[in-house]
Amino acid sequence: MGALIPVLLERLVVDQELIEIRTRTSRALDHLIRAAHESDRLRPEVGAGDLILLSIRLSRPLPGGLSRLDADGTLLHRHLDLALDGLTTQSAPAPAPAPGEPLTFAGLVATADRPNTTD
């Protein structure tokens, strides 16, 4: 995934079909995350963008324009803390809250300079 996503992002053509698919996917992901938060299975400070970037980070550094999200290294430390402490609220002992705010899917898309129509 880490090798494929940067290549795809550089060649991605954002058309209406992609926007519609991304909107449906974003809503489904938001629903899953909300359910995980409500069932107390996912730490409340974890957002969809955090999970997406955490997956990418585990395989390689942030590609291209996404590096702007972490110019000072704060987001890197957030994701490292989340990876080390675990994403679940069921950890023992309870992990300290991750620094910063949850990164949303919309925030991730906007930073990647792609049209954001995931409202």
Tens digit of each residue's pLDDT (9 = 90 or more) over 22-50:
899 989 999 999 999 999 888 888 898 88
54 belongs to a structural domain = yes
Contact indicator for 49, 108 with CB cutoff of 8 Å: yes
The SS3 call for residue 70 is: helix
Residue type, 66: L
pTM beyond 0.75, yes or no: no
117 belongs to a structural domain = no
Would you state the structure tokens that stand for residue 108, as one six-digit string?
């991730």
Contact indicator for 111, 66 with CB cutoff of 8 Å: yes
Rounded distance between C-alpha atoms, residue 75 and residue 94, angstroms? 21
Residue pLDDT, tens place only, 69-109:
777 878 877 877 777 677 666 656 666 777 787 787 888 77
Instruction: Tell me how many domains the chain contains.
Output: 1
Which structural domain range is residue 19 located in? Answer: 4-111
Would you state the structure tokens that stand for residue 113, as one six-digit string?
């300079």
